[in-house]
Amino acid sequence: MQKLSGLRVPPEWEAALIACLDQPPRRARSRRSLWLGIVLLAFVLAGIAGTVAWLDLRA
């Protein structure tokens, strides 16, 4: 299906090809959602590191 996704086929053919699959094709993740996940993870890790540093300074 990966090779088929780059081809231009009529809508009827596309519907027939998808109907032949055992499961619906997975949608490709957009780069925006990937970057959003990376930035969110970075903020969480920075928050944990900041909390650890703050607790270390208080002790």
Domain count, the chain: 1
Q: What is the mean pLDDT of residues 22-40?
A: 84
Supply the range of the domain harboring residue 46: 2-58
The residue assigned the tokens 């009827």 is 12
Q: What is the pLDDT of residue 44?
A: 98
DSSP 2-27: HHHHTS---HHHHHHHHHHSSSPPPP
**Residue 31 to residues 26, 35, 38, Cα–Cα distance (Å):** 15, 6, 11
* pLDDT for residue 15 is more than 70: yes
Q: What is the pLDDT of residue 5?
A: 60
Q: Is the pTM of this model over 0.75?
A: no
Q: Please, what is the average pLDDT of the chain?
A: 84
